[in-house]
Amino acid sequence: MKISIGADHAGFALKESLRRKLVADGHEVVDVGTFSEDSTDYPDIARKVADQVTSGRSERGVLVCLSGVGMSIAANKVDGIRAGLGFNLEEVRLTRAHNDVNVLALGAKYTDPALAAQMVDVFLATGFEGGRHARRLAKVAELERSPGEHVTLEGESE
């Protein structure tokens, strides 16, 4: 699988560990940076990974910052990205199976490298279940197409 990976300075060491693991596992890895622990802005890196995924140049993306939150927020601003923050293996499995997450965000401060490697494995191995989840993702996509418009949800009256 072709995977785009990126991190800011706080996530650099974990990104490097994951990059080496992915290459060793036989994946093609597009490393968009950062390439040192020098200060960098996470939205710039999130955009690069998101662009790789939405263009189809990469099948999935992995982002790392201090908490993972900044990367997930920034990546989710890009139309077509569904970034999820990874905390544990089951949560990562569910974000793929139910939400078809295409970018995994990890927090270097809170994620042990061994657990991060396992979460990436689950992220890459888990498929999307479709069905009722596809209907819900279609509603999410509609939110992207019509920002600011009120969408009436099931069971809600206007």
Query: pLDDT digit string (tens) for 57-101?
Result: 999 999 999 999 999 999 999 999 999 999 999 999 999 999 999
Residue 10: which residues within 8 A CB-CB, separation 6 or more?
65, 66, 108, 109
Q: How many Å apart are CA 119 and CA 92, to the nearest integer? A: 6
Q: Which two tokens stand for residue 144?
A: 């992207």
Using 50, 70 and 90 to split pLDDT, how confident is the model at 153?
low
Residue 89: which residues within 8 A CB-CB, separation 6 or more?
115, 118, 119, 122
State yes or no: pLDDT of 154 exceeds 80. no
In the chain, where are the structural domains located?
Answer: 2-128
Using 50, 70 and 90 to split pLDDT, how confident is the model at 150?
low
State yes or no: pLDDT of 158 exceeds 60. no
Using 50, 70 and 90 to split pLDDT, how confident is the model at 156?
low
Which of 9, 27, 65, 150 is flagged as catalytic?
Answer: 65
State yes or no: pLDDT of 157 exceeds 70. no
65 is catalytic: yes
Query: pLDDT digit string (tens) for 21-69?
Result: 999 999 999 999 999 999 999 999 999 999 999 999 999 999 999 999 9
Q: How many Å apart are CA 57 and CA 80, to the nearest integer? A: 14
Which of 9, 98, 133, 150 is flagged as catalytic?
Answer: 98
133 is catalytic: no
Q: Look up residue 64 and give its DSSP letter.
A: E
| Beta strand segments in 60-113, E | 60-65, 83-85, 103-107
Question: What is the CATH superfamily name and number for domain 2-128?
Answer: Sugar-phosphate isomerase, RpiB/LacA/LacB (3.40.1400.10)
Q: How many Å apart are CA 83 and CA 99, to the nearest integer? A: 9
Q: How many Å apart are CA 111 and CA 2, to the nearest integer? A: 23
State yes or no: pLDDT of 147 exceeds 80. no
